[in-house]
Amino acid sequence: MELAGAGHFEPDQAEYDQGRSGILAELGYRVLRFSNEQALHETEQVLQAIKAQL
């Protein structure tokens, strides 16, 4: 799981994150990315999304 600040939504950073997620997927990992705001204000939904992927 990754908590992403506003900078992660900039085009260059988003492209980098997508590439990194692809590399991790090749290694058998799944990346779940949530904004800091989601984690702070939608905590239950974030936890449910994580649980659904386990």
List the end-to-end C-alpha distance of the chain, in Å, as a whole number: 12
Share of the chain above pLDDT 70, in %: 85
DSSP-assigned beta bridge partners for residue 35: 4
Six-digit token string for 22: 């692809």
Q: Where are the beta strands (DSSP E) in 1-54?
A: 2-4, 33-35
> Over the stretch 22-36, which tens digit does the pLDDT of each residue have?
999 999 999 898 888
Q: Is 53 within 8 Å of 30 (Cβ atoms)? A: yes
More confident residue, 51 or 6: 51
pLDDT of residue 3 exceeding 80, the answer is no
Q: Look at the pTM and tell me if it is higher than 0.85.
A: no
Q: What is the pLDDT of residue 28?
A: 95
